[in-house]
Amino acid sequence: MWPLDKLGVTSSGENRMPSVRDLRDRIKSLKNTQQITKAMKQVAAAKIRRAEAARKQAQPYADALGEMLRDLMDAVGSIDHPFMRPGKEGAPRGVILMTADKGLAGAFNSNVIREGERYAREGGGVVWYAVGNKARGAVRRMHAEAGFSESLSANEKLALAQDVAAKVTDDFNAGKISEIVLVSSRAVSVMVQRPEARVLVPVAKDATEKKEEQKGPRAEVEFAPSPEAVLTRLLPKYLEFTIYSAMLETDAAFYSAQLIAMTNATDNAGKLLDDLTLAMNKARQAAITKEMLEIVGGAEAQAG
């Protein structure tokens, strides 16, 4: 915010025309800001492409993993695995809150944090597992119990996903939490990023997408040593890769949001520059007119 005297308003409430020098300083400062927003816009555009490429490279594995889980769910009647059973009754819920490490992306991070707070208000205690600097800051401000806290860029993402999955799995198996919930942002498109809360564990029968959409014949699959044994090994991988995919999607969604925010900031700075330039020209013209009137008045006074 500019001081009142810089905006043409004195502390007593009287309107004052900003001087040409004040307006010129404001225009110079705004041009510098516009250059920064332009540079950040270009950086975000370049990083979007890399983030989307990484997400697309992981998609075939995600599709294959989901299809295999569907086949296994169909092949087994029941399985004695902790992920398939309800958690300890009365234990708090475990919420993985995932945000970006940086800001300047509009309401991207605050929307995810708000969705996590909304989920926490639904009832019962919550143990937070913060991934991302903004999530870590939010958990500290809430003075809440944190079972895990790390930056999104602190480590290679796959290793970080494995660390998070191992921590929440240990707490779930130990009865410290009753379920594992992921709160992150889904990249609907470049223009739309939507926060959502997903229950990852216990794994529901329909958690691995919809079977009714598949049409046509499907090959019969045999699992060795048994579907139950394969599913027991696959469920931890499912949790790890779901968290890893959410990290890649958070990156892509963040840079999309930052691109939009910096584009809007650059456009708004351009409009404000036009207004300030017009105001400066008017102030310059008023100053010139005033000087001419003073000269003419002085000349007439001397002639009189």
pLDDT at 220: 60
* Confidence category of residue 15, pLDDT binned at 50, 70, 90: low
Q: What percentage of the chain exceeds 90 in pLDDT?
A: 50
* Token pair in block for residue 280: 């400066």
Q: Which of 44-48, 227-231, 260-264 has the lowest mean pLDDT?
A: 227-231
Work out the average pLDDT over 220-235. 73
For residue 41, give Cα distances in angstroms to 172, 263, 267. Answer: 42, 6, 11
pLDDT at 124: 78
pLDDT at 6: 47
Q: Looking at the domain assignment, is residue 278 inside a domain?
A: no
CATH for 83: 3.40.1380.10
Cβ neighbour number for residue 240 with a 10 Å cutoff: 18
pLDDT at 86: 85
Q: Is the pLDDT of residue 46 over 60?
A: yes
Q: Residue-wise over 60-78: b if at least 16 C-beta within 10 A, else e?
A: eebeebbebbbbbbebbee
pLDDT at 288: 87
Q: How far apart are CA 213 and CA 227, in angstroms?
A: 23
Q: Looking at the domain assignment, is residue 271 inside a domain?
A: no
Work out the average pLDDT over 32-37. 94
For residue 170, give Cα distances in angstroms to 90, 130, 144, 180, 296. Answer: 17, 16, 20, 11, 88
Mean pLDDT over each residue of the chain, to the nearest integer:
85
Q: Looking at the domain assignment, is residue 55 inside a domain?
A: no
- Pairing state between β 93-98 and 193-201: unpaired
- Supply the range of the domain harboring residue 107: 78-254
Nearest to 251 by CA among 42, 95, 52, 104: 52
Q: Residue 97 in 3-state DSSP?
A: strand
pLDDT at 77: 63
Q: Is the pLDDT of residue 285 over 60?
A: yes
* Confidence category of residue 119, pLDDT binned at 50, 70, 90: very high
How far apart, in Å, do the first and last CA atoms of the chain sit?
50
Nearest to 112 by CA among 219, 267, 225, 253: 253
The whole model's pTM is what? 0.81
For the stretch 133-188, pLDDT in tens is 999 999 999 988 888 999 998 778 999 999 999 999 999 999 999 999 999 999 88
* Token pair in block for residue 79: 């399985």
Query: Is-contact 128 182, C-beta < 8 A?
Result: no
Sign of CA dihedral 159, 165, 166, 168: positive
Q: Looking at the domain assignment, is residue 98 inside a domain?
A: yes
* Token pair in block for residue 13: 């409430």
Cα-trace Rg, the chain: 29
Q: Is the pLDDT of residue 189 over 90?
A: no
Q: How far apart are CA 235 and CA 237, in angstroms?
A: 5
Work out the average pLDDT over 121-139. 92
Q: Looking at the domain assignment, is residue 261 inside a domain?
A: no
pLDDT at 270: 94
Q: Looking at the domain assignment, is residue 125 inside a domain?
A: yes
Q: Looking at the domain assignment, is residue 227 inside a domain?
A: yes
Most confident range, picked from 11-25, 88-102, 225-239: 88-102
Q: Looking at the domain assignment, is residue 279 inside a domain?
A: no
Number of domains comprising the chain: 1
